[in-house]
Amino acid sequence: MKAAVNKLGGGRKWSSSVRIPEPGPKQVLVRVVTASPNPIDYKISPMRPGVVAGQDAAGVVEKVGKEVRGLEVGDRVVSHAAGCMAEFVLCNVGCVAKLPENWTFEQAAPLPTAYLSALQGLRDHGKMKEGDKVLVVGASGACGTAGVQLAKALGASEVVGVCSSRNVELVKELGADRVVDYTSETILEVVGDDFFDVVFDSVGGYVAKVRPTMKKGAMYVALNGGAVSWIKSLTGLGGGTEKLMMARFPSRDIRTVIELLDKTGARPHIGHLFKEFNFEEVERAYGMLKSHRTRGNLVLRINAAES
Ligand SMILES: NC(=O)c1ccc[n+]([C@@H]2O[C@H](COP(=O)([O-])OP(=O)(O)OC[C@H]3O[C@@H](n4cnc5c(N)ncnc54)[C@H](OP(=O)(O)O)[C@@H]3O)[C@@H](O)[C@H]2O)c1
């Protein structure tokens, strides 16, 4: 099969002869229809040479492992799928969710990483409740657009997004009640002090800027941080009201995201759809991501929806 494979030292190379893998007892083989690239793919690629890139995919079940229950050949699915920049990928059943008919493969591919990060950031680490006031930093990116949409769907009374001037309208369209244009104003100038219950920071490093705008006991949850913050977070020494989180990918959370977005009628904002699966398009997608200027999610079409 065709696949984009991580190279030693970083980056990817193209191969047309990667062996199609066989599913283990609790795995399914998925014919990938769409895949969504994430920054984590290129961050970890130097540490995983020879491995197919990518981790978010939507597609059709092609083969089912011996112990798999509840999934059948031909099912439309979305999954965390390590190695999905390829025509086929193995998925662990605990990460696979069936895709309802009212969802397209393009819409579904970004759900695992961006939307599960936002869901877990708000609901689990941020302890968000209905009626809370929520700040989303990086509101125009993949995790940030997810954060805005999910904060609304979870019942926030006010969602404020932070982005640059060119993305202000997009972030409002996605549901933010107010938008802070970080190129011309500060969050404190816009909302005043003692305002937010939860801050979801998909950029990282905003804690000092947002602290005065947070209520006492409010939670600050970030997706990025320095080495010391990661050590504290991963060893459980962090605690308190500042969290650096690592997303997980259970299928039940994918189903929750689908239900929440169906409730409000929202869908992932696809900043760019790459319609051909070839090396140039894969590299163009990762090049765009590395610019840190993409809007919403990037999606690549890998195979046609029908085989
Ligand atoms: N810890 C975890 O489990 C986890 C999970 C998922 C992602 N992540 C990490 O989280 C980060 C975000 O991921 P992503 O997929 O959302 O990235 P992304 O889609 O590439 O983010 C791009 C967006 O970032 C915005 N941005 C850049 N600098 C900004 C700033 N200073 N203030 C506000 N917005 C800014 C840009 O908006 P403007 O052009 O308007 O500035 C752009 O829309 C990545 O580093 C990723 O590796 C971590």
64 pLDDT higher than 90: yes
Instruction: Give the pLDDT mean for 9-34.
Output: 97
Q: Which CATH number fits domain 114-244: 3.40.50.1980, 3.30.70.890, 3.40.50.720, 3.40.50.960?
A: 3.40.50.720
* 294 close to ligand 1 (CB < 6 Angstrom): yes
Query: pLDDT tens-digit profile of 146-193?
Result: 999 999 999 999 999 999 999 999 999 999 999 999 999 999 999 999
164 lines ligand 1 (CB under 6 A): yes
Q: Mean per-residue pLDDT for 47-61?
A: 97
Q: Indicate which residue's Cα is closest to atom 25 of ligand 1.
A: 138
pLDDT, position 283: 98
* 273 CA from centroid of ligand 1 (Å): 18
DSSP state of 20: P
Q: For residue 108, is it left (φ>0), alpha (ψ between -120 and 50) or beta?
A: alpha
pLDDT at residue 183, rounded to an integer:
98
The mean pLDDT of 63-79, rounded to a whole number, is 98
Nearest CA to ligand 1 atom 9: 223
Average pLDDT over residues 109-122: 98
162 lines ligand 1 (CB under 6 A): yes
For residue 134, what pLDDT band results from cuts at 50, 70 and 90? very high
What pLDDT sits at residue 232?
77
pLDDT, average across residues 287-291: 97
Q: Band of the pLDDT at 261, cuts 50, 70, 90?
A: very high
Q: State the chain's mean pLDDT as an integer.
A: 96
State the Cα–Cα distance between residues 143 and 247, nearest whole angstrom.
11
**Residue 233 has what pLDDT?**
78
Q: 142 CB less than 6 Å from ligand 1?
A: yes
Closest CA to 179 of 138, 229, 236: 138
CATH of 3-110+268-301, one of 3.90.180.10, 3.30.1220.10, 3.20.20.70, 3.60.20.10: 3.90.180.10
- Which burial class, exposed, middle or buried, applies to 31 when counting CB atoms under 10 A from its CB (0-12, 13-18, 19+)? buried
Rounded to 5°, the CA angle 63-65-69 comes to 105
Q: What CA–CA distance (Å, rounded) separates 267 from 78?
A: 14
The pLDDT of residue 239: 66
CA dist., res. 287 & res. 276, Å (int) = 16
Mean pLDDT of 65-90: 98
Confidence band (pLDDT; 50, 70, 90) for 305? confident
- Residue 238's pLDDT is what? 66
**282-to-11, 58, 89, 205, 277 alpha-carbon distances in Å:** 11, 16, 16, 29, 7
pLDDT surpassing 70 at residue 41: yes
pLDDT at 23 over 70: yes
Name which of 226, 191, 227 is nearest 209 in CA terms: 191
Q: Averaged over 10-32, what is the pLDDT? A: 97
Within 10 A of 63 (CB to CB), how many other CB atoms are there? 17
Cβ–ligand 1 contact at 233 (below 6 Å): no
CB of 82 sitting under 6 A from ligand 1 = no
Pick the residue whose CA is nearest to atom 18 on ligand 1: 141
Extract the tokens encoding 103.
């969802």
Domains of the chain, residue spans: 3-110+268-301, 114-244
Q: What is the pLDDT of residues 191-242, one digit of tens each?
A: 999 999 999 999 999 999 999 999 999 999 999 988 878 887 777 776 689 9
> 80 near 109, Cβ under 8 Å?
no
> Averaged over 115-141, what is the pLDDT?
98
User: If you average pLDDT over residues 34-54, what whole number do you get?
Assistant: 96
Confidence of residue 84 (pLDDT cuts 50, 70, 90): very high
